[in-house]
Chains A and B, each alone.
Chain A
Amino acid sequence: MSKPSNTGISALYDPYNAEKPLLVGCSCGEDHAPDQHNEIAAQRLHNEEDMSRNVIEATVMKALFPVDSVRRGFLRAVGTNTARAAIASMFPLSALEAMAQNSGALEKKDLKIGFIAITCASPIIMADPLGFYKRQGLNVSLNKTAGWALIRDKMINKEHDASHFLAPMPIAMSMGLGSNQVNMNVATIQNTNGQAITLHVKHKDKRNPKDWKGFKFAVPFEYSMHNFLLRYYLAESGINPDTDVQIRVTPPPEMVANLRAGNIDGFLGPDPFNQRAVYDEVGFIHILSKEIWDGHPCCAFGVSDEFIKQNPNTFAALYRSLIAAAYMAKEPSNRALIAKSIAPTAYLNQPETVVAQVLTGKFADGLGGVKNVPDRANFDPVPWHSMAVWILTQMKRWGYIKGDVNYKQIAEKVFMITDAKKYMTEAGWQTEAGNYKRFKVMGREFDPTKPDEYVKSFKINKLS
């Protein structure tokens, strides 16, 4: 059954052996004598499944304990079995194994994925340094992209195979709004919460939105949750976002520089730029986006219809890598490690402490206080259809769509909830039943079955 060339490797991968160093990625026969080799072969595991499990567990252990002496100390202290049980309860190891094994032949192994350097993209980014793509046999090259318009164009031009998106973008693209009509899909939501309204420090005393007339705000893109949430928040305070303030589109990385220069009074933007504004003492965090809608989607992972049709197995492998990455990201205890792996120049290019404050939720608010909000940023991949319907209601409310909208049809076409749930279940993730999960926005419940009534219920709108 097992291949002879593999015999020694599994023993070297044994992550629960306190007596031996953990060698991930080393090939057998490198530095042990032949008699030792036999000894290793004698205790070899009898089939490839054991081998594969050990490799997966070894990788998990390596990620948890980058320093080998710490891992050994931990194992000696708590005992191998306790450690194994603890790790297994955190990571769906059996599901990971199933995933690693039943992948069909990949149609395309070298993939280009575009991303914007923000913490919303954590699963997409961390899957590279932590090896989630490699484990699925994918060779992914992550391309840092300058702005959302370029993300859209590079997906239309097929320069990128798949991409980090703002959740409303695939909806807009599928409807041909602001671009040629291209069928795009939201495979997973990348993150929930994790945005904030940041104001310039000179506005420390103007905490009531009613005082914000004449302000200039930046949002990352027209078809963004940021734009819709900021408009919603302002309108609830009686500020008309189209006439009382100016909302301009600015690529997220340029927001802090603009805030410092005084070009804008504030922004509803993605992290780490809210925290970076605080770190650079130019802004303070007015509210977290979670205070507007707790659990709102923000960014998404998207692919085109065409790509899914041409590369079903590659798409499945990508799906699994991202679900596995999101599974690791949602666990609060992993957040510091993730911050460390995505902060370097090649990815976010930010001071590690800034990224860590965003992901762990223990942060300086820019007003002299330390806040502790563990779910400041969260990761939940389910693309609920109700979210898509809400996005469409806001697009209608603010005049981005004219005429009648078939909310249900568009939501169900673009948001791939069935596939997402399938791969999540495979990974051992519990998901709620149904496709139209209910939620509240600023205390008001949204009924996805009556979108048109919802749109008409707002006093401030741009319907006519």
Chain B
Amino acid sequence: MNASLFKSLEFRAGLVSLLIFVFILAVWHAATLQSAPAPAPTTPVSAEQAEYDKLMGKSAPAAGETAKTTGFPTLAQMGSTVVKQLSNPFYDNGPNDKGIAIQLAYSLARVGLGFLIACLVAIPLGFVIGMSPLLRRAFDPFIQVLKPISPLAWMPLALYTIKDSSISGVFVIFICSVWPMLLNTAFGVASVKREWLNVASTLEVKPLRKALKVILPAAAPTILTGMRISMGIAWLVIVAAEMLVGGTGIGYFVWNEWNNLSLTNVIFAILVIGVVGMLLDLFFARLQRAVTYVE
């Protein structure tokens, strides 16, 4: 039994992943060895030089002060930042300083709302477009033009017309995540097998019933693929949008720490964004598996 465990593909893949992780950490550690603070010079310096060093944050920090960090953070600095942020994720020091969990909640709420509205628009519209070849061709040029527009290009227009920065953020999520869903829904609906539709018409199934009982289950895997892509885009967009609009959210957190040139916090935020993005993707992968069928 043990032998088969070691031989299983998953176990071996996991082992290789772990090795890659350790390798990355080792490279990081080796690369940042030099940037560790140099020991204070033992030769006496002039009073003027000492004062300059103090103003530049180079002398030994007094009790209670944090030492100045320059360059790329070392593993130890990174670790202590992660522990510090995760140990108190819910603190709230007024409107401009909140814990990482609160910031994440704001971002997820914006993404959720924008994505929901996108679903409500894209799936019914995709159904209509998919069922009618005429509409499909008519809508195609608009979709092709609007699809590749960067989220940030929408932002000034949204701010100007909507006149509310948080709604603008949600709008940008909506406008960027609606297209993959719309296209995939239309494609899924259009490529339902002729035979199944013919059987439905032979049995004189009413249109609404046909849509819900035949087309929807048949197109579901494609629709969910679209939703999965859209969610990935929405999560990409939120960080950029919040960096631009500010106030709350994980994007604002990155921006605020960038202002302070605090690389450890920026890297921490990048890790958090990655992990949350992965979890969202896993969730949709599960949903996708649930609706997949074998012909």
Contacts and interface: CB of A to CB of B under 8 A. Distances in A.
Interface of A: 117, 141-146, 150, 153-154, 156-157, 159, 253-254, 256-257, 260, 276, 278-281, 344-347, 349-351, 353, 357, 362-364, 368-370
Q: How large is the interface on B (under 10, 10 to 19, 20 to 34, 35 or more residues)?
A: 20 to 34
B81 interface: no
A141 B248 CA distance: 14
B52 A144 contact: no
12 contacts: A141-B95, A143-B95, A143-B96, A144-B95, A157-B164, A157-B165, A254-B259, A279-B56, A281-B70, A346-B96, A349-B257, A370-B48
Q: Kindly name the residue among A146, A256, A279, A281 whose own CB sees the greatest number of chain B CB atoms within 10 A.
A: A146
B57 A142 contact: no
A143 B247 contact: yes
B165 A150 contact: yes
B96 A347 contact: yes
B160 interface: yes
A353 B164 contact: no
A154 B96 contact: no
Q: Quick one: which of A143, A150, A281, A345 has the most chain B CB within 10 A?
A: A345
Contacts of A278: 56
Given A153-B159, A347-B96, A364-B52, 7 more contacts: A143-B96, A144-B96, A257-B258, A280-B261, A344-B97, A349-B257, A369-B52
B159 A346 contact: no
Interface stretch (B9-17, B119-127, B238-246): B238-246
Nearest to B156: A149
A256 B261 contact: yes
Given A144-B256, A346-B93, A347-B96, A353 B246 contact: no
A349 B260 contact: yes
Contacts of A346: 93-97
A39 to B, nearest CB: 39
B164 A276 contact: no
B268 interface: no
A129 B255 CA distance: 23
A345 B93 contact: yes
Interface in B123-177: 159-160, 163-165
Contact of B96 (A150, A345, A353): A345
B228 to A, nearest CB: 31
Given A143-B95, A144-B96, A349-B259, A157 B70 contact: no
A157 B55 contact: no
Interface of B: 48, 51-52, 55-57, 68, 70, 93-97, 159-160, 163-165, 243-247, 255-261
Contacts of B259: 117, 253-254, 349
Contacts of B163: 156-157
Contact of B261 (A142, A145, A276): A276
Contacts of A117: 259
Interface core residue of A141, A144, A154, A347 (most chain B CB under 10 Å): A144
A159 B164 contact: yes
A349 B256 contact: yes
Nearest to A112: B95
A285 to B, nearest CB: 12
Given A146-B255, A150-B165, A157-B163, A353 B55 contact: yes
Contact of B68 (A142, A351, A357, A369): A351
B96 A142 contact: yes
Contact of B52 (A146, A253, A256, A368): A368
Contacts of B164: 157, 159
B96 A364 contact: no
A364 B56 contact: yes
A353 B95 contact: no
B93 A145 contact: no
Contact of A281 (B55, B56, B256): B56
A253 B56 contact: no
Given A146-B243, A370-B52, A353 B261 contact: no
B95 A370 contact: no
A154 B165 contact: yes
A254 B258 contact: yes
Q: Which 9 A-B pairs have the closest CB atoms?
A: A346-B97, A253-B259, A146-B246, A364-B55, A157-B163, A144-B96, A345-B97, A346-B96, A349-B260
A221 B52 CA distance: 32
A353 B68 CA distance: 11
B123 to A, nearest CB: 32
A270 to B, nearest CB: 12
A209 B97 CA distance: 41
Given A279-B57, A370-B51, A370-B55, A150 B95 contact: no
- B51, B160, B243, B260: residue with the most chain A Cβ atoms closer than 10 Å: B260
Nearest to B56: A364
Contacts of A364: 52, 55-56
Contacts of A141: 94-95
A142 B256 contact: no
Contacts of B51: 370
Contacts of A153: 159-160, 165
Given A144-B96, A349-B256, A370-B48, A363 B55 contact: yes
Contacts of A363: 55
- Among B243, B246, B259: residue with most chain A CB under 10 A: B259
Contacts of B55: 353, 357, 362-364, 370
A363 B159 CA distance: 40
A276 B260 CA distance: 9
Given A146-B246, A345-B93, A351 B57 contact: yes
